[in-house]
Every structure is written in structure tokens, then in C-alpha cells.
Amino acid sequence: MLAFAVSVLVVGFAVLAWSADRLVAAASAVALHLGMTPVVVGVFVVGFGTSAPELLVSALAALDEAPELALGNALGSNIANVGLILGLTLLLSPVPRHGAEQRLTVLLLTLATLLTLGLIANGDLNRPEGLVLMAGLGVTLGLILHASRRGAPPLPEEPVTAEQGPLRSTVELIISLAVVLASARALVWAAVTLAEAAGVSELVIGLGVVAVGTSLPELATVLASARRREYGLLYGNLLGSNLFNLLAVLGIAAIIYPVTITPLVLYRDGLSMAAFTVPLLLLGLGRLAGVRPLGAALLLGYGAYQAGLLLSS
């Protein structure tokens, strides 16, 4: 079983990288055909779509009455999205200072982060609070869609060939997203199998192994976006994914099975999630350029967080 899990890891990473590249290309084409900004497509299609593993894992964990795994997955995924994924991306492919067309999404993520911290500050996340998070998701979707209709159609960042018609682009987008999610799910299974064999605790699996595993679609698509210079998709992906994790993943998990928040989780994981969100917000507003030293600092911070997890588990 362990040898098979290692084989799944190797093959899964290769399939994930290929399908993510196709996903970004198709998403860019769809954005052009629909007259939508790459940021909006990044938030709705790529960001929310690649967060499906987090939603699936957290919902199943809540149904199995393992709320700590669901909570750790949601918070840990947001930390991994910035510390690991954005950090690694900036280290490998620095991102120039980008326009702030995602200003509204940045504001909404700030509010969602503050709302989540406020709800868990009393030591639990119950069903009514889960409904509040889901209501926040509905408001967020409505505001982003309303703002996108008022924006001017974007100029293509890359020319779209005649063969990339709207139907073909949409089909390719759906298929590549499905392959991304399937390969990521296989990787999560392999990672959890290996972690359980090593005797790692449930909370650490949720905050570390599962959170990183379910963030693999974001890692693959963000790296592909940076390589293709699709910076609107890059930021839209990360902003949309973090929004979805807080409002939908946590909201649905709390509705299924309320979770108790220990002080350790609140101060270590909740505040770490908020701290890692700050550089993403500043980059999204165009206040920072994504340079290699920033990427290295994010990776070091993420490494320190993981070390803290192991020491406090």
C-alpha cells in the first residue's frame, strides 16, 4: 500500500501540472470570449473551482463528525495558498506590480477574514454562524458579478487563435478542471495514507498534509498563470480560493457539524491565517511587487508555521 501511495504521488504531480496549464489557457480564452476580466474568471472559475477539494474534504470530515479536520483544512489551505503557493511562485517567477482591478475582491476577502475571526473568537462555530458565512458568500458573489458587468471588456493578454472558439474553450476548461481535481484528490489520498502510516495526529493532518494536498490545484494553476503572464488569473485564483475556503468550506462544515475552537487553534492558526492574508491583499492592490525576497520570506514563514504545528501537536 505504501509503495502504491508513493507511485500515486509521482504520477499525480505530473498529471496535475499538465492539466493546470491547460486550465489556465482555457480560462484566459473564456474570459476573452465572454468579455470578462481575467480576475473575475480567476475568482469564479479557477479560484472557486480549484477549491472544490477543500469543500469535499471538509464536508466529508464534518459528516464523519471530525470537525477539527474540516476546520484545519479550511484555515490551513488559506495559509498554504499564501505561504507555500504564492511564496514558491514568486521565488520561481517574480510577478511585476499589477493593476488593482481586483480591489473589490481584496476588500471582500478582508471582510471575510475579519468575519471568520470574529465568529470563531467565542470558541465555537455553530450552525447559525455557518449560515452567516454562507450568506456572506451569496453577497460576495453578487457584488463581484455586479462590478464585473460595469467593467470594460479586457484586452487579451495573449492572442487567442481561431481554433479557440467559445465552445471549444469552455469544453477544454471543464475537462481540464475535472482532471485537476481528480489528480489532486489522488494526491491527497496518497499523502494522508503516508501521514497516517507515520502516526501524525488528525489536526496536524488537516492543517498540514490535507491543507497542502487540497491546495495543489491552486499551486499548479498559479504557477501556470505566472509562466503565461496571466497575472489577473493568478490573483483572482488566490483571492477567490481564500474567499471560498472561509465562506463556503467553513460555512458548510459548520452547518453539517458545529465545531469547537480551542484557544490554540484560534491564536496559532486563526491569527496565522490572518497574518498570511496581509501580503496577498497588498499584492492584489498593487502596493507591492512580487519579488523573490518576498517569496523567500513567505516560504520561510510557512516553514516556521509547519514547524510550530509539529512542536505543538
Q: What is the pLDDT of residue 307?
A: 87
DSSP 35-99: T--HHHHIIIIIIHHHTHHHHHHHHHHHHTT-HHHHHHHHHHHHHHIIIIIIHHHHHHS-B----
All domains of the chain in start order, with CATH: 2-312 (1.20.1420.30)
> Which residues touch 28 (CB under 8 Å, ≥6 apart)?
38, 41, 156, 157, 158, 160, 228, 230, 233
pTM above 0.95, yes or no: no
Tell me if 54 sits within 8 A of 245, measured CB to CB: yes
Question: Taking the CB of residue 218, how many other CB atoms lie within 10 A of it?
Answer: 30
Q: What is the pLDDT of residue 112?
A: 95
The series of mean pLDDT values per 10 residues for the chain, 313 residues long, is 76 71 71 70 70 71 75 86 91 76 86 94 92 94 78 44 65 81 72 70 64 72 82 83 91 90 87 93 83 93 88 73
For residue 164, the one-letter residue type is: Q
**φ and ψ at 294, to 5 degrees?**
-65, -40
Tell me if 42 sits within 8 A of 233, measured CB to CB: yes
Tell me if 47 sits within 8 A of 237, measured CB to CB: yes
Q: What is the pLDDT of residue 134?
A: 95
Cell of 13: 504531480
The enclosing H or E element of 162 equals none
Tell me if 113 sits within 8 A of 273, measured CB to CB: yes
Is the C-alpha dihedral spanning 182, 187, 190, 196 positive or negative?
A: negative
d(C-alpha 237, C-alpha 119), whole Å: 25
Q: What is the pLDDT of residue 126?
A: 92
The enclosing H or E element of 305 equals helix 292-312
Q: Output Rg (C-alpha) for the chain, integer angstroms.
A: 18
Q: What is the pLDDT of residue 129?
A: 95
